[in-house]
Amino acid sequence: MVIRRIGPLSLAKLAGVLYAAIGLIVGAVFAAISAIGGFSAAAARSEGAPVVAALFGVGAIVFFPLLYGGMAFLMALTGAALYNAIAGIVGGVEVQMQ
């Protein structure tokens, strides 16, 4: 079996959703670290630091999935288009299945 063509939009949608999920996980970890930093700053009586840490945490849960998903979408779309162009010249990738 030889893969001669990949649907660029279908690959891009799959990669975008997959990496958005990964971005959500990364954003949650970043939010947790920000919360810990905010609590330690509150314990040290820093003015405004807990609010800034909370904003970074909430922002991370929104920002990272959008960033990861958007970049993966664009890269997969470009990669699939390039693959299709090159596979037309060299013949594609051979895959053996049982």
Tens of each residue's pLDDT in the chain, 98 residues: 888 899 999 999 999 999 999 999 999 998 888 777 766 655 556 565 566 666 777 788 888 999 999 999 999 999 999 999 999 899 888 888 88
User: What residue ranges do the domains of the chain occupy?
Assistant: 15-92
With contact defined as beta carbons under 8 Å apart, do 64 and 20 qualify? Answer: no
Burial class of residue 96 in the structure, from the number of CB atoms within 10 Å of its CB (0-12 exposed, 13-18 middle, 19+ buried): exposed
d(CA 87, CA 2): 10
d(CA 8, CA 24): 24
Considering the entire predicted model, what is its pTM?
0.77
Task: Return the SS3 of 93.
Answer: strand
d(CA 37, CA 71): 28
